[in-house]
A and B are shown apart, each in its own frame.
Chain A
Amino acid sequence: MSYKMHILVCGGTGCQASNSQGIIANLKEELTNKNLENEVQVIATGCFGFCEQGPIVKIMPDNTFYTQVKPGDSEEIVNEHIIKGRKVNRLLYRDPENKERVSDSKHMDFYKKQLRIALRNCGLIDPENIEEYIARDGYAALAKCVSEMTPEEVINEVKFSGLRGRGGGGFPTGLKWELTRKYKADQKFVVCNADEGDPGAFMDRSIMEGDPHSVIEAMAICGYSIGADKGLIYIRAEYPLAIQRLQTAIKQAEEYGLLGKNILGSGFNFTLEFRYGAGAFVCGEETALIHSMEGHRGEPTTKPPFPAESGYLNLPTNVNNVETYANIPVIMNKGANWFNKIGTEKSKGTKVFALAGKINNVGLIEVPMGTTLKEVIYEIGGGIKNGKKFKAVQTGGPSGGCLTEKHLNVPIDYDNLLASGSMMGSGGMIVMDEDDCMVAVAKFYLDFTVEESCGKCTPCRVGNKRLYETLDLITNGKATMDDLNRLKNLGQVIKDTALCGLGQTSPNPILSTIDNFYDEYTAHIRDHKCPAGKCKALLNYVIDPQLCIGCTLCVRNCLSNAITGIRKEPHTIDPEKCIKCGVCLTKCKFNAISIQ
């Protein structure tokens, strides 16, 4: 007896944090109570991407997409939808434009422009069930490669597809595989870089949680093509759910004979192991990653030699990112010719982005290369929160730069983003509105890179610290125009001299904000003003003598005794003593206190 209906509940980290586990438990209990447990199946899937509206529950075959579901809604869903066939209107997504309820995801702006290749199975299959992956052509690519193609043919197919590394660098994947194949050694390694470290990025985590087998299959294909029988997944211990799903997946693949010895009777052996990282940003850099895997400090070394020649244990090693791997099975199944028709001339395929910041639809999206920022932010992302004005978007995380209104029509691909002063990076996209101070944003990223610098090379260890201190002076209104020039020069020097990618890109947030928001820097330095009203040190709380009646309420609440005055006469705030906590502003009943 097959199930008549499937209830798909998002089991990604985001929705689990909003108790999607509780929804699943309640749904199952409710179905059992109604004797429907053999007719309706409840499945925990990977991320649907629409995290803003989570937890998501999707009912098939009715194709009904419920948003922001709570465990307490389970009873109504079963009674109304499952038994009586009536959609639960209040849980349907409401179109922000015309306020109408939309029941299927295809008609939501969030999904209209998306093309899901790397995320093809996320939100559709049960990631803990290998058979569901097989039903979606899973392991067919591996079977095709090991039984019908030579390793050279596999590499050529990947090269021809035009796939480039999705971790940020954009190095052609096929070329990397070819180089690793070229070096002769008794033992080679396939490494998966799952050390996703950009603040606000969760692309790789969602793929591993939602479709772990696609990564495993691709790593085996890579092993076959470069001549490696061992794969290592370098993942941060901060991703417990991703680790657990991958472990389950590896175990199942071994049981089914899709990993291990003599895979599908081809004579090809491949096994997978984990290496855990402690969550250091620099370990996303491939040489640092390899040292960390070997049990050494996670510090980068100079290239060459590239890992293709001398990597893990000084043996030839191929390192690719999670999303890069997730594309491989599709390329092998559908052909390079299908894949290289998607995207732009030099950037093929799609890219997954994690939308975050001041945007209406926070979530995970996948769009063809060449989609413009405008489409991503306004159509898929649903525009800026609370109707505010768009100011900038940071791509590429702490290594990238910010893009502004003039870049909105730039088609997103590796080369265009570089030319615009930012970079693709791994896919974090943080949107900022008019209330964000760009100097403070640059300071935030520098704070991160100073913290994450491994300290091996001087430009990064000392240089970034100096950059941070200068930014701190600016946000406190204590900098001069000379400091601004020093910031630019030092930033350029660090870019040119740092040892690894972390240092070479860390000044980018500063340089690009200086380029695009020069006025904002000069306002801080010359006028001691923060136009966005974010930098506390530059704000002044003042009392309007016209409005103040001298009730002394503010005096009694002031934490730093900064307010003085005679009863029933206008009071004043001493800016020297004021700690800008804002208590007086909220306490005043006569709107006499304002920020200048």
Chain B
Amino acid sequence: MEKIKSIADLKKIKEKVQAKIDLREKSEQAENLIQIKVAMATCGIASGSKETMDYFIDNLEKSGIQAVVTQTGCMGYCYAEPTVEITKPGKDPIVFGQVNQQKAEEIIQKYLKNDELVEGIIPVNYNTIND
């Protein structure tokens, strides 16, 4: 193990592990952050939701967007898998369909960064008991 010789070295280690601890810290106060739920039922996974989720996790960090990425069960839109539900703080959740890695990038660049909506929004057609 290389010894830590300066504050800069210490900061480097901090940055390296920050993302890992972030996942735990941020989740405590998820409602203040962007929440991204990826549907990961059999239908979702078969359509590539795992890759979508990985893409979000890796690229949000790169774009410097603070968000909590979680998986969820089937949302019922099996025809449009992979589906992703995004909730911005203080806004209604929006469900995006057929989110492959390309679409995920578009969502990050347009909706998450600039609040521009993108094609492929699924109108919500049911209420949940949490509402």
Contacts and interface: CB of A to CB of B under 8 A. Distances in A.
Partners in one complex: yes
A144 B11 CA distance: 12
Interface stretch (B64-72, B76-84, B101-109, B113-121): B64-72
A255 interface: yes
Main SS of chain B's interface residues? helix
Nearest to B26: A61
Contact of A143 (B10, B20, B24, B68): B10
A135 B6 contact: no
A139 B4 CA distance: 11
A257 B2 CA distance: 8
A131 B2 CA distance: 13
Given A61-B69, A63-B30, A131-B13, A265 B5 contact: yes
Interface string A194-206: 0000000000000
A465 interface: no
Contact of A256 (B3, B7, B19, B25): B3
A65 to B, nearest CB: 11
Interface stretch (A3-11, A168-176, A344-352, A561-569): A3-11
A536 interface: no
B13 A134 contact: yes
A257 B5 CA distance: 7
B1 interface: yes
A135 B20 contact: yes
A93 to B, nearest CB: 16
B5 A264 contact: yes
A333 B13 CA distance: 17
B17 interface: yes
B71 A4 contact: yes
Contact of A134 (B1, B10, B40, B69): B10
Contact of A8 (B5, B24, B30): B24
B94 interface: no
B112 interface: no
Given A124-B24, A134-B17, A136-B21, A4 B3 contact: no
B16 interface: yes
Interface in A381-418: none
Contacts of B5: 257, 264-265
Contacts of A62: 27, 70
Contacts of B122: none
B34 interface: no
A75 B8 CA distance: 43
Interface residues of B, number: 34
B13 A61 contact: no
A2 B19 contact: yes
A180 B21 CA distance: 37
Given A124-B25, A132-B21, A135-B17, A264 B4 contact: yes
Contacts of A61: 23-24, 26-27, 30, 68-70
A239 B57 CA distance: 40
Contacts of B40: 85
Contacts of A3: 20, 23
B28 interface: yes
A270 to B, nearest CB: 14
A125 interface: yes
B53 interface: yes
Q: In the complex, which of the residues B21, B53, B68 has the most CB atoms of chain A within 10 Å of its own CB atom?
A: B21
A303 interface: no
Contacts of B25: 124
B57 A6 contact: no
Interface string A252-280: 00011110000011000000000000000
A2 B60 CA distance: 13
A6 B24 contact: yes
B17 A132 contact: yes
B18 interface: yes
Contacts of A8: 24
Contacts of B20: 2-3, 6, 132, 135
Contacts of A1: 54
A264 B27 contact: no
B16 A131 contact: yes
Contacts of A137: 14
Given A3-B20, A63-B30, A84-B73, 4 more contacts: A2-B20, A61-B70, A86-B73, A256-B1
28 contacts: A2-B20, A4-B53, A6-B20, A60-B23, A61-B23, A61-B26, A61-B68, A84-B73, A85-B41, A85-B71, A85-B72, A85-B73, A106-B28, A125-B21, A131-B16, A134-B10, A134-B14, A134-B17, A135-B14, A135-B17, A135-B20, A136-B21, A255-B1, A256-B13, A264-B4, A264-B5, A264-B10, A265-B5
Interface of A: 1-6, 8, 60-63, 84-86, 106, 124-125, 131-132, 134-137, 139-140, 143-144, 147, 255-258, 264-265
